[in-house]
Amino acid sequence: MRSWILFGSGLIVVFLFFSLLDFSNPPEKSLKDGSTHEVSTDPGPNLAKVEPSTLNKKTIEDSSKKPDGVSIPDTGRDDDETEIEQLLERIISTPEIDVDVLENVDTETALKLINIASSLADFYQYEAGIPWAQDAVRLDPGLPDAHLMSGYLYFKLVMTDEAIAAFEKTIELDPLNFDAHFYLGRIYNGNDQPNLGMEYLTRAIEIATTPEDVSLGFAYRALSHALLDQYDKALKDLENALYLNPDNGWAVFFRGKIMEEMELKEKEVLEKEGVPGDRIGVTP
């Protein structure tokens, strides 16, 4: 039997851990770095305060204005500490639950646990959020948001296999879940499997319900094309992304990286073949 509740000492550890976090990681330097993890201001799935009637209508918050690696503005240390204290106070006040003794599906409690995991993720406490998400899955194995939240936390911790399994389960339960397709596309791009990443991102574009989500799908699918050296298709996707959402920071970022890659390849070709006419005294 497993029961859990956060005690005072645990709260202090979590608080100290947050105070030591470094959010200044730079963005990737190459389109083919292969990293599955993107340390970022990515808000993740929008799972806060979800209700059962909206479980199949989740869309991620628009992260296009906050690309991974962009520094987080200083909003004031006192405000951050106050928010954390309030969050931890809310968690500690959650009644103790013996998950192992529950025989029936408890969607209401599962949703509460997802909200706690989501709140922890807002403060970059991804590892601390996993037990809450896991117990939400145990309380209601058929709840797509429980698996989605688990997948997101695993994604942020670079636990790729676990993230893939959780997102695939989300899709099994909710085939029209944009978030799960979107994150799987990102993972496979980072795993140097752009063909598979493109499949999930194409599906994400098809099922997206907002222009912002469609724009994000196009931006990341452009990265899939670029990883396959399909630069014309990549630029076309970026054009579509910016048409739908001119403020899509990811589209701008990827376009800059793709143009750099194209220029580098062109330079390599010219250096290998030489300047036309230089061997016979003729220059362009």
CATH superfamily of 178-272: Tetratricopeptide repeat domain (1.25.40.10)
Task: Please give the Cα distance from 34 to 193 (Å, whole number).
Answer: 9
The answer to whether residue 162 scores a pLDDT higher than 60 is: yes
pLDDT at 268: 85
pLDDT for 231: 95
Q: Is the pLDDT of residue 36 over 50?
A: no
SS3 annotation, the chain: CCEECCCHHHHHHHHHHHHCCCCCCCCCCCCCCCCCCCCCCCCCCCCCCCCHHHHHHCCCCCCCCCCCCCCCCCCCHHHHHHHHHHHHHHHHCCCCEEHHHCCCCCHHHHHHHHHHHHHHHHCCCHHHHHHHHHHHHHHCCCCHHHHHHHHHHHHHCCCHHHHHHHHHHHHHHCCCCHHHHHHHHHHHHHCCCHHHHHHHHHHHHHHCCCHHHHHHHHHHHHHHHHHCCCHHHHHHHHHHHHHHCCCCHHHHHHHHHHHHHHHHHHHHHHHHHCCCCHHHCCCC
Judge whether residue 200 has pLDDT over 60.
yes
Return the ∠ at Cα 28 (arms to 23 and 34), rounded to 5°.
Answer: 115
Condensed to tens digits (0 to 9), the pLDDT of residues 99-149 reads: 554 556 889 999 999 999 999 999 999 999 999 999 999 999 999 999 999
According to the CATH classification, is domain 44-62+69-175 in 1.25.40.10? yes
- Which of 62-71, 187-196, 264-273 bottoms out in mean pLDDT, i.e. has the lowest? 62-71
Same fold flag, 44-62+69-175 and 178-272: yes
What pLDDT is recorded for position 98? 55
Count Cβ atoms within 10 A of the Cβ of residue 198 and give its class: 0-12 exposed, 13-18 middle, 19 or more buried. Answer: buried
Hey, where are the domains in the chain?
Answer: 44-62+69-175, 178-272
Mean pLDDT of 28-52: 46
Q: Rounded to 5 degrees, what are φ and ψ at 233?
A: -65, -35
* CA pair distance 236, 23, nearest whole angstrom: 32
Average pLDDT, the chain: 75
Given this model, what pLDDT does residue 144 score? 97
Q: Which amino acid is present at 232? A: D
Partnered with residue 3 across adjacent β-strands are 98
> In this predicted structure, what is the pLDDT of residue 31?
52
The yes-or-no verdict on residue 88 having pLDDT over 90 is no
